[in-house]
């Protein structure tokens, strides 16, 4: 109903304008013979043009002044990156140059339109060319443009220069997809692991990281970009599906993310998020509540965060591809960095997506070996008999069977080595089960498992007569059998050192 | 100053005496065999004047649709919280109404509106509607030709344009919506139906429509060039051509050289979409699967697209420049300043327009080294543009300006060209473009310099040549209202966008709420929307004025109401097929002899008086 009403009113208004116009035309037609009517008409239009002239220039200056605190290089919005000021400067120089030309030409345009309007008896000049003038207004713009071009090219080549392989820099992988950014950091090795789009598995391996590349093992993913102030950062920019564009407005960074064509942008942040907030806090437009609905919400400057946006149309969710960027002091970065956990080890290791699920990585072998040796030595030196038991934490069997899992071999190898290092000892291999199922079967199973361990160790060169395999069935639980967790503890293989 | 002699000429007698007899009318026995009946006269007409009007009216139709689209998406940007349920009868399922009865515009349709708005305006309105209308109408009339070199190709050109429009129009009604990946249609978004609903059938129709469109442009262009080069009347040397014809000629040459590249780009895209090739596609994982494409590059498409795309903006602006030069000189009663400099500028803009395309691609993944050249050439193009502006200003200087409606629009054109052209110096300089690329700064820039400016040039032309087209004048009062409202509201719409852009607000955002940085400008967005709506209604006044004046406008009583010098004003008030009733006029001077020897104006067909030395 309101729609209908508004449409009606607008149509009525248009109809009135049209009717009045037609009447006005007829009135003018009657007046046209009148002396001076045309002069008066052109004078009025000329005056309008002059009013517009002044009004327009005032509007331009007033609006520029009004919005200056939101513009790059002005108010709080000086660039937060090392290369940013060169862009802001070039912007300013261009603004001044074009501003002068704009005011002069715009003013001249409307002023001439007013001044040289027709009136009775006026005669136009026949001026049709003036070589000197034409040379001047070709040469002057050419000179000004030369300055802009040179400044532009110098700034551009500095900004787009790649990192020097010698220098120290932080590399971050940002990969756009419909409709979010994936952010990946290299781990301690400082290098991002290889990836291939054919390996992508949604929810598991979003980037298609190749886990066989050792550089991937310590890479970690982050929900926000955290970078240390003053550190050169090379963003390696990728896209999974369509074009995206990596846009950090406060840092004057923008680069398209192109499927099949990796791009990069090198940037050194110079202002921490906190420092930027402090800068904003001095401006009244940032002292308002951050949530306009809630007057008690924290002020805008306090809620401020650097933002990463997408600047290339990528589909219907294009406008929502936001990530927070945090610039922090180097110490804070160090602390944050050290807290991050490897994506591979946390989410992929030993799952079916792990190409190494049946073997240990060198550092894991080291860790487990140290752990085993530690416990072995403790047991070896123990005076009490109960202390001479070593649990084989990583020896496992397939469910309901006495077949060792592939990963069991590492700990058994350590055990074999320890036996060889201490030829004077003998051991008892003890098999234990939980209480699920038939006790008699459990007894058989535990015996079979103890024997399997003994057989393996024999193969590894430990004399069979130094070992006894004993099955304890479900008789010696070390934890409750009422919980899955407890039952898992009870299913175990132990070595007991007999001197 | 000396008294100026007001004179009236009788072209009929002069042409009868001095004209060139091509025996045109001797072949007509019992009327015009090419124009029998309504259909061959008004629909499948081969008369360039009718075809021009067909282009113009089709252009107006599309302009209204595109402007209406912009009002809808501006409502979304300016008043995202408002209830849009009232648009449901028009937009149907694209208005999503929730349980409380509050309707919102679906984001996929927002993107479709933005995309089709751009496509229609750039191609259908400002290319076909502008250069199609005026090249067709003015080239034969101003060079003294009976018609185009090939009237049949000319007709075909319009009907391919019509077909292109028809296909595009149908695509608006698809259940998956029209194409919605931006008017530049960058792959992979435009290549993969799974990337966006509009990239399915909508994109098929979009591509089909634009291929038809390119056929139309090429048929038209080759005709314009041939006509200008071969059918000039006796005495019409190249340096006596009105600047309109020069600009149409260069426009047609640019179009002929650049549109085929676009269409090649489109065909490769079609191959990628349908034949499984990988010109633009590589390393893509979408919709849960890795696609079997490797080795292509989306950047290749951008090269092909912008190889047309940048010349395209000159295809749009050059005819407007020509029209404005002509209109300004006529209504200022003064020769255009620097005629030869204008021609050199038009030609050098045309040439340079082929060397700047990659300034649209500074941050596309292009090798940064290459950008150096494109910065250089892009800023160089400002020199001929500056020369043109200074020439227009000097044309006004010491003129005798008749501030009629076409003149007002010509002045408005120069203002917009200055304002929008200068912001090009920011965008053309790659370091600033890092920040400004794909923000509202770009939107503000190109809408002012090639959107509004080109429209103002077009309106200057429509108001100026309407009497020649229809034998009646358009309403002056409505014309002035149209001028002032459009001038002010266009600046109120597009000027603030430049501040948005400098603040970093990206274009093509359905909503700014996800980002703190971009959500600080609600008031400005409201203001822009309000003025966009006002500007839209002002255009309805123009449209009414146009159609009303065709039937009821004040009648033209003399052949040359503006006292202009060019040849079209020597024809009958309602020129028939073949333009001149008898012989063809011959040309004896350039088109800007105003105030020469104290005579108000000397038309081109006027022979040199005794003792007069013709300089041009």
Q: What is the mean pLDDT of residues B239-257?
A: 96
Instruction: Kindly report the CATH number assigned to the domain that includes residue A294.
Output: 2.60.40.420
Residue A20 lies in a domain: no
Are A323 and A183 part of one and the same domain?
yes
Q: What is the mean pLDDT of residues A288-312?
A: 91
Question: How many domains does one find in chain B?
Answer: 1
Q: What three-state secondary structure class fits A304?
A: coil
Residue A125 lies in a domain: no
Q: Does A421 touch chain B (CB under 8 A)?
A: no
Chain B contact set for A316 (CB, 8 A): 107-108, 111, 180, 196, 510
Q: What is the pLDDT of residue A35?
A: 80
Chain A contact set for B180 (CB, 8 A): 316
Highest-confidence segment of A25-29, B201-205, B580-584: B201-205
pLDDT tens per residue, range B499-509: 999 999 999 99
Lowest mean pLDDT of A2-11, A81-90, A250-259, A420-429, name the range: A2-11
Query: Could you tell me which residue, A472 or B488, shows the higher pLDDT?
Result: B488
Q: Does A113 touch chain B (CB under 8 A)?
A: yes
Gap between the Cα atoms of B181 and A312, Å rounded:
10
Are A299 and A418 part of one and the same domain?
no
Residue B510 has pLDDT above 80, yes or no: yes
Burial class (CB in 10 A: 0-12, 13-18, 19+), A72: buried
Nearest residue of A to residue B373, measured between CA atoms: A153
CB contact under 8 A, A137 and B387: yes
Name the residue among B392, B421, B306 with its Cα closest to residue B355: B306
CB contact under 8 A, B503 and A77: yes
Residue A1 lies in a domain: no
Nearest residue of A to residue B183, measured between CA atoms: A313
Residue A126 lies in a domain: no
Q: What is the mean pLDDT of residues B131-136?
A: 96
Chain A contact set for B495 (CB, 8 A): 59-60, 63
pLDDT tier, A386 (very low <50, low <70, confident <90, very high otherwise): confident
- Residue A327 forms beta bridges with which residues? A227
Structural domain for A340, as ranges: 170-348
pLDDT tier, B1 (very low <50, low <70, confident <90, very high otherwise): very low
Structural domain for B471, as ranges: 41-553
Crossing angle for the helix pair B243-274 and B201-230, to the nearest 10 degrees: 150
How many residues appear in chain A? 499
Residue A123 lies in a domain: no
- Residue A237 forms beta bridges with which residues? A174, A263
Are A382 and A329 part of one and the same domain?
no
Residue B604 lies in a domain: no
Q: What is the pLDDT of residue B527?
A: 95
Degrees to nearest 5, angle at CA B502 with B496 and B506: 90
Residue B471 lies in a domain: yes
* Rama region for A208: left / alpha / beta (φ>0; ψ in -120 to 50; rest): left
Burial class (CB in 10 A: 0-12, 13-18, 19+), B36: exposed
Are A80 and A224 part of one and the same domain?
no
CA distances (Å), origin A396, targets A399, A405, A439, B496: 9, 6, 20, 70
User: Are the beta carbons of B266 and B178 closer than 8 angstroms?
Assistant: no
How big is the A-B interface in CB pairs under 8 Å? 366
Instruction: Kindly report the CATH number assigned to the domain that includes residue A491.
Output: 3.30.1330.60
Q: What is the pLDDT of residue B349?
A: 95
Q: Does A59 touch chain B (CB under 8 A)?
A: yes
Residue A27 lies in a domain: no
Q: What is the mean pLDDT of residues B387-403?
A: 95
Chain A contact set for B408 (CB, 8 A): 45
Full-model pTM = 0.93
Are A155 and A206 part of one and the same domain?
no
Question: How many domains does one find in chain A?
Answer: 3
Name the residue among B263, B271, B270, B268 with its Cα closest to residue B312: B263
Chain B contact set for A138 (CB, 8 A): 383, 386-387
Nearest-CA distance B504 → chain A (Å): 6
Residue B28 has pLDDT above 70, yes or no: no
Residue B16 lies in a domain: no
CB contact under 8 A, B516 and A303: yes
Chain A contact set for B394 (CB, 8 A): 127, 130, 133
Are A244 and A333 part of one and the same domain?
yes
pLDDT tens per residue, range B89-128: 889 899 999 888 889 999 999 999 999 999 999 999 999 9
Q: Does A50 touch chain B (CB under 8 A)?
A: no
Nearest residue of A to residue B476, measured between CA atoms: A25
* Structural Rg of chain B based on CA atoms: 25
CB contact under 8 A, A21 and B475: yes
Residue A14 lies in a domain: no
Name the residue among A176, A260, A241, A245 with its Cα closest to residue B296: A260
Contacts of A253 (CB under 8 A, 6+ apart): A81, A235, A246, A247, A265, A267, B434
Name the residue among B422, B297, B434 with its Cα closest to residue B361: B434
pLDDT tier, B610 (very low <50, low <70, confident <90, very high otherwise): confident
Q: What is the mean pLDDT of residues A148-159?
A: 96
Please give the full DSSP string across A164-210, using - where no structure is assigned. PTTS--EEEEEEEETTEEEEEE--TT--PPPB-GGG-BTTTBTT-B-
| Residues 181-220, chain A, touching B (beta carbon < 8 A) | 197-198, 200, 202, 208
Nearest-CA distance A358 → chain B (Å): 27
Residue A407 has pLDDT above 60, yes or no: yes
CB contact under 8 A, B491 and A56: yes
Residue B457 lies in a domain: yes
Residue B174 has pLDDT above 90, yes or no: yes
Residue B122 lies in a domain: yes
Q: Which of A72, A134, A156 sits opposite B341 (nearest CB)?
A: A134
ipTM summary value: 0.93
CB contact under 8 A, B596 and A126: yes
Nearest residue of A to residue B522, measured between CA atoms: A292
Residue B9 lies in a domain: no
Residue A377 has pLDDT above 50, yes or no: yes
Q: What three-state secondary structure class fits B613?
A: coil
Q: What is the mean pLDDT of residues B33-43?
A: 76
Residue B535 lies in a domain: yes
Residue B30 has pLDDT above 60, yes or no: no
CB contact under 8 A, A256 and B364: yes
Are A315 and A244 part of one and the same domain?
yes
CB contact under 8 A, A258 and B338: no
Q: What is the mean pLDDT of residues B246-250?
A: 97
Residue A409 lies in a domain: yes
Nearest-CA distance A309 → chain B (Å): 8
To the nearest whole number, what is the mean pLDDT of chain B? 93
Identify from B89, B303, B359, B401 which residue to disrupt to test chain A contact, counting A C-beta atoms within 10 A and taking the largest count. Answer: B401
Gap between the Cα atoms of B254 and B346, Å rounded:
11
Q: Which of B107, B284, B512 sits opposite A259 (nearest CB)?
A: B284
Are A367 and A491 part of one and the same domain?
yes
* Structural Rg of chain A based on CA atoms: 39
Q: What is the pLDDT of residue B68?
A: 95
Q: Does A52 touch chain B (CB under 8 A)?
A: yes
pLDDT tens per residue, range A258-284: 999 999 999 999 999 999 999 999 999
Q: Which of A18, A128, A159 sits opposite B337 (nearest CB)?
A: A128
Gap between the Cα atoms of B341 and B346, Å rounded:
8
User: Are the beta carbons of B122 and B183 closer than 8 angstroms?
Assistant: yes
Nearest-CA distance B183 → chain A (Å): 11
Q: What is the mean pLDDT of residues A356-378?
A: 90
Residue A134 has pLDDT above 80, yes or no: yes
Contacts of B100 (CB under 8 A, 6+ apart): none
Residue B116 lies in a domain: yes
Q: What is the pLDDT of residue B37?
A: 77
Give me the half-sphere count of Cα atoms (radius 13 Å) on the Cβ side of residue A348.
26
Instruction: Kindly report the CATH number assigned to the domain that includes residue B181.
Output: 1.20.210.10
Q: What is the pLDDT of residue B34?
A: 67
Are A152 and A175 part of one and the same domain?
no
Spell out the SS3 assignment of A44-55: HHHHHHHHHHHH
Are A247 and A223 part of one and the same domain?
yes
To the nearest whole number, what is the mean pLDDT of chain A? 92
């Amino acid at each position: 109903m309101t729609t209908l009403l508004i449409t009606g009113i607008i149509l009525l208004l248009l109809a009135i304008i049209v009717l009045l116009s037609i009447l006005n035309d007829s009135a003018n037609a009657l007046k046209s013979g009148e002396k001076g009517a045309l002069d008066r008409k052109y004078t009025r239009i000329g005056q309008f043009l002059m009013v517009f002239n002044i009004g327009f220039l005032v509007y331009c200056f007033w609006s520029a002044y009004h919005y200056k605190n939101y513009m790059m290089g002005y108010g709080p919005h000086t660039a937060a990156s090392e290369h940013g000021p060169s862009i802001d400067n070039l912007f300013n120089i261009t603004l001044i140059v074009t501003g002068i030309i704009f005011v002069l030409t715009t003013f001249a345009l409307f002023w001439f339109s007013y001044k040289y309007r027709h009136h009775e008896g006026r005669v136009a000049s026949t001026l049709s060319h003036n070589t000197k003038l034409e040379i001047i207004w070709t040469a002057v713009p050419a000179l000004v443009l030369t300055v802009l071009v040179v400044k532009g090219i110098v700034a551009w080549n500095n900004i787009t220069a790649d990192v020097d392989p010698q220098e120290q820099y932080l590399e971050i992988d940002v990969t756009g997809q419909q409709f979010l950014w994936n952010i990946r950091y290299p781990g301690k090795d400082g290098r991002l692991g290889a990836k291939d789009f054919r390996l992508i598995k949604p929810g598991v391996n979003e980037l298609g990281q190749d886990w066989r590349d050792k550089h991937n093992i310590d890479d970690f993913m982050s929900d926000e970009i955290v970078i240390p102030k003053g550190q050169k950062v090379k963003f390696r920019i990728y896209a999974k599906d369509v074009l995206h564009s990596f846009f950090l407005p406060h840092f004057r960074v923008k680069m398209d993310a192109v499927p099949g064509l990796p791009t990069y942008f090198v940037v050194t942040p110079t202002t921490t998020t906190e420092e930027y907030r402090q800068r904003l806090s001095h401006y009244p437009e940032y002292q308002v509540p951050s949530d306009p609905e809630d007057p008690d919400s924290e002020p805008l400057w306090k809620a401020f965060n650097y933002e990463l946006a997408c600047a290339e149309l990528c589909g219907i969710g294009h406008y929502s591809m936001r990530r927070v960027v945090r610039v922090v002091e180097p110490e804070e970065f160090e602390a944050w960095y050290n807290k991050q956990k490897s994506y591979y080890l946390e989410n992929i290791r030993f799952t079916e997506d792990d190409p190494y699920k049946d073997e240990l990585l060198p550092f894991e072998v080291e860790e487990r070996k140290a752990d085993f040796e530690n416990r072995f030595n403790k047991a070896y030196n123990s005076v009490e008999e109960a202390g001479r038991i070593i649990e084989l934490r990583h020896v496992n069997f397939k469910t309901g069977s006495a077949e060792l899992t592939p990963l069991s071999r590492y700990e058994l190898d350590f055990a074999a080595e320890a036996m060889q290092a201490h030829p004077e000892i003998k051991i008892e291999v003890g098999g234990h089960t939980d209480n699920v199922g038939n006790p008699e079967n459990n007894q058989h199973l535990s015996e079979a498992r103890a024997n399997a361990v003994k057989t393996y160790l024999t193969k590894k060169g430990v004399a069979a007569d130094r070992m006894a395999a004993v099955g304890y069935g479900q008789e010696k639980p070390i934890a409750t059998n009422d919980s899955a967790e407890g039952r898992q503890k009870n299913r175990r293989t132990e070595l007991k050192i007999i001197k | 100053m000396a008294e100026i002699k007001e004179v009236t000429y009788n072209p009929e007698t002069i042409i009868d005496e001095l004209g060139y007899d091509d025996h045109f009318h001797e072949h007509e026995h019992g009327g015009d065999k090419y124009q029998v009946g309504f259909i061959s006269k008004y629909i499948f007409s081969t008369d360039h004047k009718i075809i021009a009007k067909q282009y113009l009216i089709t252009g107006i139709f599309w302009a209204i649709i595109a402007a209406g689209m912009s009002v809808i998406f501006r409502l979304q940007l300016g008043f995202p919280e408002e209830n849009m349920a009232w648009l449901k009868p028009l937009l149907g399922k694209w208005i999503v109404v929730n349980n409380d009865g509050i309707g919102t515009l679906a984001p996929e349709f927002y993107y479709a509106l933005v995309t089709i708005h751009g496509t229609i305006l750039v191609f259908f309105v400002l290319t076909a509607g502008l250069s199609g209308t005026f090249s067709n109408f003015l080239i034969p009339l101003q060079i003294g030709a009976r018609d185009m070199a090939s009237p049949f190709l000319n007709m075909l050109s319009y009907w391919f344009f019509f077909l292109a429009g028809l296909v595009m129009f149908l695509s608006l009604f698809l259940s998956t919506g029209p194409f919605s990946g931006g008017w530049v249609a960058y792959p992979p978004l435009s290549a993969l139906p799974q990337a966006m609903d509009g990239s399915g059938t909508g994109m098929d129709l979009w591509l089909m429509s634009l291929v038809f469109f390119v056929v139309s442009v090429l048929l038209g262009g080759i005709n314009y060039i041939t006509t200008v080069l071969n059918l000039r009347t006796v005495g019409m040397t190249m340096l006596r051509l009105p600047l309109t014809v020069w600009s149409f000629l260069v426009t047609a040459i640019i179009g002929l050289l650049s549109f085929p590249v676009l269409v090649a780009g489109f065909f490769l895209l079609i191959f990628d979409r349908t034949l499984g090739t990988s010109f633009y596609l590589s390393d893509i994982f979408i919709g849960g699967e890795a696609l079997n494409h490797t080795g292509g590059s989306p950047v290749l498409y951008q090269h092909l697209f912008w190889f047309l795309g940048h010349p395209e903006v000159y295809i749009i602006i050059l005819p407007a420049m020509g029209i404005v030069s002509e209109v300004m000189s006529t209504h200022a009663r003064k020769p255009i300043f620097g005629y030869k400099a204008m021609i050199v500028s038009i030609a050098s803009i045309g040439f340079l327009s082929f060397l700047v395309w990659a300034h649209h691609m500074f941050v596309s993944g292009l090798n940064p080294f290459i950008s150096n050249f494109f910065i250089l050439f892009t800023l160089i193009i400002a020199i001929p543009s500056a020369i043109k502006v200074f020439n227009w200003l000097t044309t006004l200087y010491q003129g005798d300006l008749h501030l009629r409606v076409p003149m007002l629009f010509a002045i408005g054109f120069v203002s917009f060209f200055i304002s929008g052209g200068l912001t090009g110096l920011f965008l053309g300089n790659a370091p600033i473009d890092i920040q400004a690329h794909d923000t509202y700064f770009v939107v503000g820039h190109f809408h002012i310099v090639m959107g509004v400016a080109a429209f103002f040039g077009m309106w200057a032309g429509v108001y100026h040549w309407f009497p020649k087209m229809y034998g009646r004048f358009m309403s002056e009062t409505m014309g002035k209202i149209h001028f002032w409202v459009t001038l002010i509201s266009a600046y109120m719409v597009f000027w603030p966008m430049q501040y948005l852009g400098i603040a970093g607000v990206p274009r093509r955002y359905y909503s700014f709420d996800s980002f703190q940085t971009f959500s600080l400008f609600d008031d400005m967005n409201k203001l822009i929307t309000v003025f966009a709506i006002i500007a839209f209604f002002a255009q309805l006044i123009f449209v009414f004025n146009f159609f009303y004046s065709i039937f009821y406008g004040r009648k033209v009583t003399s052949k040359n109401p503006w006292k202009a010098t060019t040849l079209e004003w020597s024809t009958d008030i309602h020129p028939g097929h073949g333009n001149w009733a008898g012989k063809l006029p011959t040309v004896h001077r350039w088109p800007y002899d105003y105030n020469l020897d104290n005579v108000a104006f000397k038309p081109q067909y006027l022979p040199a008086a005794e003792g007069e030395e013709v300089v041009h």
